[in-house]
Amino acid sequence: QVRLVESGGGLVQPGGSLRLSCAASGFTFSVALMNWYRQAPGKERELVASVSRAGGNTNYADSVKGRFAISRDNAKNAIWLQMNSLQPEDAAVYYCNAYLPYGDNYWGQGTRVTVSS
């Protein structure tokens, strides 16, 4: 029933850009804090960006601040992650996450981002 489906990953050269999308269904999207996480091989999953319920507040990991931008549209039940100036260190599987008011979490299947010349 609950689904978070990421898309938009792929191969880009260093300095390039990608825009990831996450389509949500099966829960009340507007009450969820939405996040993007990523996990690279051999590393722990890390929080990349978050956006508040109405989209008015965003937060970013220091490593991506100024390069990435998270956004949401509650009418479309979707969030996006615009990624600019991509570096090899950004290569990872990126996951869409929904954090609900009482602590429940929903996760997408992930979309892979590869940064290589």
Q: 90-106: per-residue pLDDT in tens?
A: 999 999 999 999 999 99
What integer is the mean pLDDT of 2-27?
98
CA atoms of 105 and 117, how far apart (whole Å): 36
Q: What are the residues facing 11 on neighbouring strands? A: 114
Q: What's the pLDDT score for residue 48?
A: 98
Helix %, strand %, coil % for the chain, to 5? 5, 50, 45
Q: What's the pLDDT score for residue 114?
A: 98
Q: What's the pLDDT score for residue 27?
A: 96
Q: What's the pLDDT score for residue 70?
A: 98
DSSP letter at 64 equals: T
Q: What's the pLDDT score for residue 89?
A: 97
Share of the chain above pLDDT 90, in %: 97
Burial of residue 74 (CB within 10 Å: 0-12, 13-18, 19+) is middle
Mean residue pLDDT across the chain: 97
Residue 42 token pair: 């051999």
